Amino acid sequence: MARLIHSRSSLSRFFNTLGSTGRGRYLSTGSNKIDEPLEVEDAETVQVPHPPEEKLLVLGGSGFVGSHICKEALDRGLSVTSLSRSGKPSIQEPWANNVHWHQGDLLSGGSWKEALNGVTSIVSCVGGFGSNSYMYKINGTANITAIRAAAEKGVKRFVYVSAADLGVVNYFLQGYYDGKRAAETELLVRYPYGHVILRPGFIYGTRRVGSMELPLGVFGGPLEMVLQHAKPLSQVPLVGPLLTPPINVTAVAKVAVRAAIDPVFPPGIIDVHGLMRYSHQK
C-alpha cells in the first residue's frame, strides 16, 4: 500500500523524539522545535505494509468531549467503542448507532476490561469534579487503572485528555489537578513512546445536559478569537494562566483522534496553542 509520509524533516523529528529521553516532550511553547507545523517540502511516496484494522476505545465516550471524539473517529472510518458507567447515552444522531457502547466503571472491579478486546488505541476523556478525594479518584485513579490495563493488554497508543494548568485556580481544585498529573506520570512510565497528553483550557461547543443543549460557543468562540493572540501574557505570573484561550470541542476531537492513530504523531504534551495548530492541519 502506498502512503504519503509527510517529509524527511518530520520523520527525522519523530525519530529524534524516539531517541530522546523517553519522557514526554512539550509540543508547544518550549525551546525545542518539534511543535512547528509539518512542512511538506520534501514529500515522497513509500511502500509500507497495510495497517491492521484500527479499533479505537474512547473512555468516557458518552460525555461532552468523548462523544465528539467518537464521531470524529467514525468519520475517519475507524471502528469505535466507548466505555462509561452509563453506557449508551441518549444521543439521537445516526452516528451514535455505529459506536459499540460498553457500560462499566473503571473504579469498580475488572469486568470493564472486556472493552479492551482487539483495541489498538485509546483516548481517555474520563474526568470530573466534586470533592477533592472524588476528583483525585476520577481524574487520577480511574485513568491510572485504565493505563495499566491497556499496557498489559498490549494496546499501542494512549491519548489522555488532561487539563491546562490554570495557576491560582489549581489551588481550589487540588484533587482535580493532582489526579490529572498522577495519570500523566503513569502514562509517561507505561507508554514512553505511545502517549500523547492533551492539555486544553476551557473546551466549548454544544454540551448536552439531559434533554437540553447548552451552546457554550456563544462566549467560548469570541474569547478564543481574542485570547489566542494573548500568548505572551500567559507567561505573566498568577494571572497569565487564566488567559489560556478556550478551544472548540471539534478541534480537540480532531487532534485526539489523529494522535491516537497517526504512527508519526510524536509523543508528548500538547497545550492549547499546540492543539490549535494541529487542528488546523489536514
Residues of the shown chain interacting with ligand NAP in the complex, contacts defined by CB under 6 A:
60, 62-66, 83-86, 105-107, 125-128, 138, 142, 161, 163, 200, 202-203
Of the pair 175, 200, the CB lying nearest ligand NAP is at 200
Of the pair 203, 255, the CB lying nearest ligand NAP is at 203
Of the pair 75, 105, the CB lying nearest ligand NAP is at 105
CB neighbourhood size of 34 (10 A) = 17
What is the total residue count of the chain? Answer: 282
Of the pair 86, 111, the CB lying nearest ligand NAP is at 86
Q: What sign does the CA torsion over 274, 146, 177, 86 have?
A: positive
- Min. distance of Cβ 25 from ligand NAP in angstroms? 20
Q: What is the largest CA-CA distance in the chain?
A: 53
* Contact assessment for residue 258 and residue 270, using Cβ atoms and an 8 Å cutoff: no
- Min. distance of Cβ 151 from ligand NAP in angstroms? 18
Q: What is the DSSP string of 55-118?
A: EEEEETTTSHHHHHHHHHHHHTT-EEEEEESS-S----SGGGGGSEEEE--TTS-SGGGGGGTT
- Min. distance of Cβ 218 from ligand NAP in angstroms? 14
- Min. distance of Cβ 249 from ligand NAP in angstroms? 8
- Min. distance of Cβ 103 from ligand NAP in angstroms? 8
Of the pair 60, 194, the CB lying nearest ligand NAP is at 60
Helix H or strand E segment including 268: strand 268-271
Cα–Cα distance, 55 to 53 (Å, whole number):
6
Of the pair 86, 97, the CB lying nearest ligand NAP is at 86
Of the pair 24, 66, the CB lying nearest ligand NAP is at 66
Instruction: Say which DSSP state 20 is in.
Output: S
Collect all residues with Cβ–Cβ distance below 8 Å to 145 and sequence separation of at least 6: 106, 107
- Min. distance of Cβ 100 from ligand NAP in angstroms? 15
* Contact assessment for residue 157 and residue 116, using Cβ atoms and an 8 Å cutoff: no
- Min. distance of Cβ 139 from ligand NAP in angstroms? 6
Of the pair 161, 269, the CB lying nearest ligand NAP is at 161
Residue with cell 508547544: 28
* Contact assessment for residue 176 and residue 142, using Cβ atoms and an 8 Å cutoff: no
Enumerate the H helices of the chain as residue ranges.
8-18, 64-75, 132-135, 142-153, 168-172, 174-190, 217-227, 249-261, 272-280
- Min. distance of Cβ 98 from ligand NAP in angstroms? 17
